[in-house]
Each structure stands twice: as structure tokens, then as C-alpha cells.
Amino acid sequence: MNIKINGKEETVSGIKTILELINDKKLIPEHIVVEQNFKIVPKEEWARTVLNEDDKIEIVSFVGGG
Amino acid sequence: MEDILTIGGREIKNRLFIGTGKFSSYETMKRSLEESDVDIVTVALRRVDIESKTENVLNYIPKKCILVPNTSGARDADEAVRIARLAKAAGCGNWVKVEIIRDNKYLLPDNLETVKATEVLAKEGFIVLPYMCPDLSMARRLVDVGASAVMPLGAPIGSNRGIKTKELVEILISEIKIPVIVDAGLGAPSSACECMEMGCAAVLVNTAIAVAEDPAAMAKAFADAVSAGRLAHLAGMPHSTVGAKPSSPLTGFLRDV
């Protein structure tokens, strides 16, 4: 399945949900926010939110800034 | 009587706000935040670098601080609203510094888009602190649409030029009933002090602290300058005159024979 993660095309296989994607990327859930096709996906919904072909996924977190 | 600033129902003792960008390390940033005993800090929201995991900035910000995510990177109101909602979803409160910039040379904010974004976000329950060019009409509109403070720039971001917009900011202080917080361009503690003497509710400083040789010491210097300026404002600043007015009595000179 081809999806776009943070603007970059990726082919993922064996990954069905947002939660599986986060685990696969070894990201720490507490620190990040996930958006699927411009819609924020709350953490409690990651496990049941299914990834689809051509999804645009944004994974963001806080950094230092003024 | 204790002098406390209230924004969004929260009591803020320290009128120096600090931005967390540009520090050489998060450790250095942490020492600066601790040394200045700051209450309000800004952060930015960015895409996670999936390949090279970086540390979480939140681990280096004292727990007592109110976190104010900015919408840097936003070029219009829609982008700012999107960033603000993402920041809120991170679970660190509902404060946001609206920052909408289309000008890459001077990084001056787009006041019209800023008003639009402020209106949407205030209606959604955000505590909105908009970064703006100091313009009275726009500041009034920001008040009308629900801003919790206005943040006029002193000089372009990171320029360290001081309070170049002084007379326009003074007009805001005189006419706007919500806190006026000078944000951007203050390069020296003396400039921060001057803003507070003028009657600003607070100042936000980032670059001048972050790029100092000793950021923690500079943070403390800014905090002290802000306190001194605030105290001077409360004490009642004297009017300036062109001619001299003697401080010592003009009678009883020894030369009179």
C-alpha cells in the first residue's frame, strides 16, 4: 500500500492501522499527534483507524520555537 | 500588594515570556528557563523526523510553565487554525500564539489573516495570543474577536534591534484594554525594561537569550530587567523635559556674601 507520510511517499506492507504504523516507526505515542487526510486522529482511535491507499499522514510533535 | 498578570484565567507572576527556539541544546534551554523562573514558554509544532529521532523538548520545560504553541509556518488563517488544533491535540492545554507570516525577508505578520484565525480559535475555546504589527485598528479587531492579549512586534524577529515600534505600541497600551505583550526584536535587557516602563503587560524574548554566550545568565538578566521596568511603571514614570530642573536647592549657596 502506498501512503504519504510527512510529505514523503512510502510503501508499507503488513501495516493496517495508525497504531501499527506508529509502532513500526518506533515513535513514542505520548509525544506525537497524527493527522490522516487533514483530520486529527485521537490516540484512543489509532488502533481502529485503518490506513487506506493514498492516505496523507502527518505525524507532528513540539520542538523549540519562539 | 502582589502584582500579578492574569491571562485566560491563569495568574502569571513572571512577566518575561521565553521562546524556546535556537538554543544550542535543550539542556542549555532548560537552565535558562530555570534561571529566569519563567512561567510562560512558547514552542513550535513540526513534522517528526522519522529517520533521526530527536528528544522531546517538553522534557526540558519546567512542569509549572504554561506552554504556548505558536503557529509558525502558517501562511494564512486556515493553516494557523490547523496547526493550533494539532497542538491542542498534543494535550498540553489550549493556549496558542497565532503567528501568520507571508513575508520571508522581514517575517512581518499578516494582520488580516491573524484576525481571521484568532476569531475561529477563540470561538473554539483557545486562549489566543496573536503576534501582530502594532496597528490600533487591527488590535481593536483582535479584541473584538476574542484575543486574550495582543503581541505587537518590537522589531523584526531575531533582529535584536529593540523597541523600534515604540510610539505605535504606546498607542496600543493606551487604548487596548487587554494585555499588550511586546514580542520579537528585543535584543537587550534594557529594551525589555523600556517596554515594561512604558506599561507593557509582558515581553516575549527568544533569540537574545538563546544566542547569548551564556544563555542562562542572559535569561536572568532579562527577568531582572522586566521586573525593574514593571516596578518603575507601577511607581509612576516621571515626564521628561528638554531643559534642566535642579535637584538641589537654589538657595543658600556659599558663594553668596
Of B42, B86, B206, the CB nearest to A33: B86
What is the CATH code for B5-235?
3.20.20.70
The answer to whether residue A61 neighbours chain B at the CB level (below 8 Å) is yes
The answer to whether residue A65 neighbours chain B at the CB level (below 8 Å) is yes
pLDDT in tens, chain A (66 residues): 999 999 999 999 899 999 999 999 988 888 799 999 999 999 999 999 999 999 999 999 999 999
Q: Is residue A65 part of a domain?
A: no
Average pLDDT for chain B: 95
- pLDDT 10s digits, B143-202: 999 999 999 999 999 999 999 999 999 999 999 999 999 999 999 999 999 999 999 999
Q: Which residue has the cell 528638554?
A: B242
Rounded Cα distance between B211 and B157, Å, is 13
Amino acid at B30: K
Query: A-chain residues within 8 Å CB-CB of B206?
Result: 66
User: Assign residue B107 a region: left if phi > 0, alpha if psi is -120 to 50, beta otherwise?
Assistant: left
Of B26, B70, B82, the CB nearest to A66: B70
The answer to whether residue A64 neighbours chain B at the CB level (below 8 Å) is yes
Q: Do B43 and A25 touch (CB under 8 A)?
A: no
Q: Do B46 and A59 touch (CB under 8 A)?
A: no
What pLDDT is attached to residue B243?
Answer: 93
Q: Is residue A33 part of a domain?
A: yes
DSSP string, chain A: -EEEETTEEEE--S--BHHHHHHHTT--GGG-EEEETTEEE-GGGGGG-B--TT-EEEEEEEEE--
Q: Is residue A7 part of a domain?
A: yes
Chain A: nearest CA to B120, how far in angstroms? 17
Give me the domain span that covers residue A7: 2-60
Q: Do B48 and A35 touch (CB under 8 A)?
A: no
Q: Do B47 and A7 touch (CB under 8 A)?
A: yes
- The interface pTM score, or ipTM, of the predicted complex is 0.93
Q: Is residue A66 part of a domain?
A: no
Q: What is the mean pLDDT of residues B104-133?
A: 97
Q: C-alpha grid cell for residue A34?
A: 497524527
Q: Is residue A10 part of a domain?
A: yes
Q: Is residue A9 part of a domain?
A: yes
Work out the pLDDT band at B251, boundaries 50, 70, 90.
confident
Task: Report the CATH number at residue A32.
Answer: 3.10.20.30
Amino acid at A51: L
pTM recorded for the entire structure: 0.91
Q: Is residue A54 part of a domain?
A: yes
Q: Do B50 and A6 touch (CB under 8 A)?
A: yes
Q: C-alpha grid cell for residue B228?
A: 525593574
Q: What is the mean pLDDT of residues B21-27?
A: 95
Q: Do B54 and A42 touch (CB under 8 A)?
A: no
Task: Report, as residue numbers or ranges, the catalytic residues of B.
Answer: 97
Query: B-chain residues within 8 Å CB-CB of A28?
Result: 56
Number of domains forming the structure of chain A: 1
Residue B1 has pLDDT above 70, yes or no: no
Delimit the domains of chain B by residue range.
5-235
